[in-house]
Structure 1
Amino acid sequence: MSFQRMSVNQNISNSKVQSKAKRGSMNRPQSGIIDGDIFYGFRSDIENDCPLAPAYKTKLFNLFRLIEKEFDILYQENQSLQDKIEVLNEKIERDTFDKPDCVDFENNISKVLSKKLSSSSQKSKTAHKLKAQTSKIVSSFKAPQYNCGLVKSYIGHKDGVWEVSVARPGVPVIGTASADHSACIWSIETTRCLLQYQGHTGSVNSIRFHPAKDLVLTGSGDCSAHIWQAALNWDLPKGHSSEEELEGEDLDDKIDSKISTLRTPFRELLGHSGAVSAAEWIVGADQVITASWDRSAILHDVETGSLLTTLSGHDQELTHTSTHPSQRLAVTSSRDATFRLWDFRESLHSVSVFQGHTESVTSAVFTREDKVVSGSDDRSVKVWDLKNMRYPVATIRVDSAVNRLSVSANGIIAIPHDNRHVRLFDLHGQRLARLPRSSRQGHNRMVASAAWIDDVGGVNLFTSGFDRRVLGWSVVSLKDQ
């Protein structure tokens, strides 16, 4: 997920839209760029100010009309091709899962190899390698091992939702960070917004719950991170409608005006000169790390709010940060195609740099198995072992840029994509399933993040996107059904 350089006061969501438009295929301009209004504006300016003869004016107007007509034709052709590509991709995926002869694929390839190769020792080794590679290919053709279904929808934000996060065990709420300058806390069961934080003056780009207290950490495009008190009102606010009554209302009105709002932070963390793309608690929650577009990360003291140290080294803007669940370790991801591992277990903050991707690293997260999983705009996800991080232990190739991914407690990677899909893989790189996406299920715009949770009311995975929605999914192993 590429970011564009912006000034301190610019909104992060505008940069996202611009970068996606550049990276994607040709998109039709918004109304007013190449249309009748602009054409007639040109005509009026030429008639009033241009010294050209009438014949030349007429010729120029005709050329404008031809350009507009040609653009419309190209746009229609492009849209048609995009629709065909999406249909073909979905057909390929269905055929891959449903093809009955896949089980014989490995045997057939092995037979062909045995006929083609001689009995020499060198060729035997080659045959063994090819058979191993064939087995790996066949494993990707296996039928889905998980049943995925949409269970809940959390609707109310007025702009894209950058991130969704889950609270500590025993607290059945989720938090959302949105480009509409607000962060919200939602009841998982009722899907109601319990609290809306409005203390930031820019896009809210990340949200994290304190591991033991009712505190929330948010990072924003206003160059700051805030820690605020999550005092929740579990009772239905007066005048607030039920979920069923809200179905016919406009999305912008679904966060009721009488829901509790908070505008004052418990602690404000400053020090950055660029937008804060992500913020995270260090284990023990006495310190916080923030990642910024000013190419640095900062370690803050929670008690005093003071800046402890500035972590420099990245060549371009930072896109994400994550911390280890039990050790004082952190990773920062950057547009410079690298992610860095920072070790705070000693006074000296040692650092290691990893260059496994060719484009912007959009996120890198720790797993409970002491691994790091990184995702990138280069359409790949890589799994790294902390004991030996010279090379990835698994590489997952996908068909779209990867956004903020999440790894479950049992090692399932949820990968959100620019192309509106969410795919599930294990830590060995084997594909497990894809979340359904249709007119009634799934996101209809870019999926920005994913977050796993221990099963709460049948929901164990949440996704957020730029369709302004957060969706709760049930992901169940077919072996358990």
Structure 2
Amino acid sequence: MPTDQGSVKKTTKQRLSIQRMRDNEAAGRQRGLDTGDSILPQAYHTRLFKLFGQIEHEFEGMYAENLQLQDKVEALTEKLEAFQSGKVPSVEGADGFDGPARLSVRSKASTQLSNLIMKPKYKPTTGKNVFSFKGASTSGCQQMRHFRGHRDGVWEVSVSRGDMPLLGTAGADRTARLWCIETGACVLEYVGHLGSVNSIRFHPTESLVLTSSGDSTAHIWKSTVTLPPLIHQVTDNSKSCPSSGDDVDGSDKEEPDVGVENENIVYVKSPQSQLEGHSGAIIAADWLAGGKQLVTASWDRTANLYDVDTRAIVHTLTGHDQQLTHCCAHPSQKLVVTSSADTTFRLWDFRDPSIHSVNVFQGHTDSVTSAAFASGDKIVSGSDDRSAKVWDLKNMRTPIAMIRSDSGINRLSVSLTNNVIAIPHDNRHIRLYDLNGVRLARMPRNNRMGHHRMVCCTAWNDESSSCNLFSCGFDRQVIGWKVGILAT
């Protein structure tokens, strides 16, 4: 029998955690950090790996079956909501209903279902920033481009700044890639890490990229690339770097080594700077405002603040009771927020060099997977407790808005221009909300569009007119979306 949705979420999270641990251990062995060989005979090793493979196969079967059931539940839920809101005409005999009495029963069932899933009834707000989408969600949010090349799940996606912005992706295949946003061409591949690459961030002003990995290190490397030859190369050989999502089939088959034979891709094998000091996998890293310092978050329950020029640790941030899950820096002020599996996230203030203060945010009941800064001194946090919360830094005791969901939330992002939150879910959906907690849209998803496994991260690109939202997931996909937002 298939497990329930919560069990599926936990199973998926555990698989990702185990995979990152294996990457970290393998990287340690390659660097000579292991303490000794196992005393188990080879026959026992072979038998254990075979048994674990069988267990994993069973879980994958249950996971696939649950996804099918979940699609059916979502389709029925949407039909019920449509009947309840009056969008579907009450035609006699439609959908198996043969009269007003049947419709009233269905309306009642819809109300009960809404109460069961604890869907809040939001009232329209009258603030200055009100947004409307161009048409329905399927037309106002369109999949524009597909970036294919990673051979394993993609943990994070990030966008650079400047005249020719680049898209950066961090993958469990131990590589980080840079892409041309306008063409979908892979222009650079970084292969300097020994473990899973867990995050990628661009320097605010220079051509530098910061990546963190399961090998317990963070790397800084050059991102200088030449785009014109690659645009010509995509025209001649679009198969190696497809720019559309028409070939997305959602299968988990081994993908071809896309881009390996592309002679125009720049391969970077070693970093300009390597930052050490953590005893566990580094799950995330980010540049502080100005780019002179950076912060890393690790599974060793600490975060480190580094000086970029000297590579020295300026501060070690301690206090979290469990492993860290994410870190994020304010774009213009020296503020850092760290998230943790201990159900809290913390705000660190480095604006005064002589002293740094910390504030603890408590309000979630499960692991806080991410927290991001928003305009107007606000922070948005997401959690495995299936909720996202908007906090005001002037009143940090209680959130000013809450978003309830039907699935765990991963690394969310906030558009600083439009104040729209893009939330990636464990159940393969991406939903958009405003800072008042009002749902704006859901990204379209079917057999040929959207993600087909857990969505790990989203990133906004407010300076682009073609693709202004990007997402990545455990299905190896990186998708560029066009979200039509109009200020009204």
TM-score tier by shorter-chain length is: 0.7 to 0.9
Say whether residues 1:172 and 2:165 are aligned partners.
yes
Which residue is 2:351 aligned to? 345
Which residue is 1:378 aligned to? 385
Which residue is 1:199 aligned to? 192
**Alpha-carbon distance in 1 for matches of 2:56, 2:451:** 29
Which residue is 2:87 aligned to? 99
Which residue is 1:448 aligned to? 456
Say whether residues 1:387 and 2:389 are aligned partners.
no
- Of 420, 423, 437 in structure 1, the residue corresponding to residue 445 of structure 2 is 437
Q: Which aligned pairs between 1:39-438 and structure 2 lie closer than 5 A?
A: 81-92=69-80, 99=87, 136-137=121-122, 139=124, 145-146=133-134, 147-236=140-229, 242-243=237-238, 251-257=255-261, 258=263, 259-346=265-352, 347-408=354-415, 409-438=417-446
**Alpha-carbon distance in 1 for matches of 2:410, 2:425:** 6
**Greater gyration radius:** 1
- Of 22, 25, 38 in structure 2, the residue corresponding to residue 10 of structure 1 is 22
Say whether residues 1:476 and 2:484 are aligned partners.
yes
CA contact (8 A) 1:144 1:433 kept: no
Task: Name the SS for the 2:22 alignment partner.
Answer: coil
Aligned residue pairs total 399
Cα 1:252–1:34 shift into 2, 3 Å: closer
**Alpha-carbon distance in 2 for matches of 1:367, 1:72:** 37
**Alpha-carbon distance in 2 for matches of 1:331, 1:265:** 26
> What's the offset of the Cα at 1:92?
4.4
Which residue is 1:47 aligned to? none
CA displacement 1:30-51 (0-9 Å, x = unmatched): 973499xxxxxxxxxxxxxxxx
CA contact (8 A) 1:385 1:393 kept: yes
CA contact (8 A) 2:149 2:241 kept: no
CA contact (8 A) 1:325 1:368 kept: no
Cα 1:172–1:321 shift into 2, 3 Å: same
> What's the offset of the Cα at 1:87?
2.7
* Aligned-CA RMSD value: 3.5
Task: Name the SS for the 1:253 alignment partner.
Answer: coil
Task: Name the SS for the 1:354 alignment partner.
Answer: strand
More off after superposition, 258-267 vs 331-340: 258-267
> What's the offset of the Cα at 1:171?
2.7
**Alpha-carbon distance in 2 for matches of 1:216, 1:73:** 38
**Alpha-carbon distance in 2 for matches of 1:231, 1:155:** 21
Q: Which amino acid aligns with 1:410?
A: N
Cα 1:139–1:202 shift into 2, 3 Å: same
More off after superposition, 162-171 vs 335-344: 162-171
Cα 1:459–1:370 shift into 2, 3 Å: same
Which residue is 1:40 aligned to? none
CA displacement 1:252-297 (0-9 Å, x = unmatched): 3222333210011011110000000000011111111000000000
Seq. identity, %:
52
**Alpha-carbon distance in 2 for matches of 1:99, 1:318:** 45
**Alpha-carbon distance in 2 for matches of 1:7, 1:451:** 24
Cα 1:6–1:445 shift into 2, 3 Å: closer
CA contact (8 A) 1:189 1:457 kept: no
Cα 1:92–1:232 shift into 2, 3 Å: farther
More off after superposition, 317-326 vs 249-258: 249-258
CA displacement 1:388-436 (0-9 Å, x = unmatched): 1111000000110000000002100000000000000000011100000
More off after superposition, 454-463 vs 266-275: 454-463
> What's the offset of the Cα at 1:348?
1.4
Which runs of 5 or more structure 1 residues have no equivalent in the other structure? Answer: 15-28, 36-67, 102-133
> What's the offset of the Cα at 1:458?
1.7
CA contact (8 A) 1:97 1:143 kept: no
CA displacement 1:172-227 (0-9 Å, x = unmatched): 21100000000000000110011000000000000000000000000101001000
CA contact (8 A) 1:12 1:179 kept: no
**Alpha-carbon distance in 1 for matches of 2:349, 2:282:** 21
CA contact (8 A) 1:233 1:260 kept: no
Task: Name the SS for the 2:462 alignment partner.
Answer: strand
More off after superposition, 360-369 vs 3-12: 3-12
CA displacement 1:353-373 (0-9 Å, x = unmatched): 111100000000111221000
Cα 1:80–1:298 shift into 2, 3 Å: closer
> What's the offset of the Cα at 1:12?
6.9
Q: TM-score, normalised by structure 1?
A: 0.75
Q: TM-score, normalised by structure 2?
A: 0.74
Q: Which amino acid aligns with 2:457?
A: S
> What's the offset of the Cα at 1:306?
1.1
CA contact (8 A) 1:157 1:252 kept: no
Cα 1:465–1:7 shift into 2, 3 Å: closer
Which runs of 5 or more structure 2 residues have no equivalent in the other structure? Answer: 1-8, 27-50, 90-118, 135-139, 249-253
**Alpha-carbon distance in 2 for matches of 1:441, 1:13:** 36
Task: Name the SS for the 2:54 alignment partner.
Answer: coil
CA displacement 1:29-73 (0-9 Å, x = unmatched): 9973499xxxxxxxxxxxxxxxxxxxxxxxxxxxxxxxx9xx999
Cα 1:96–1:454 shift into 2, 3 Å: farther
**Alpha-carbon distance in 1 for matches of 2:402, 2:305:** 31
Task: Name the SS for the 1:444 alignment partner.
Answer: coil
Cα 1:145–1:199 shift into 2, 3 Å: same
Task: Name the SS for the 1:363 alignment partner.
Answer: strand
Task: Name the SS for the 2:427 alignment partner.
Answer: coil
Task: Name the SS for the 1:389 alignment partner.
Answer: coil
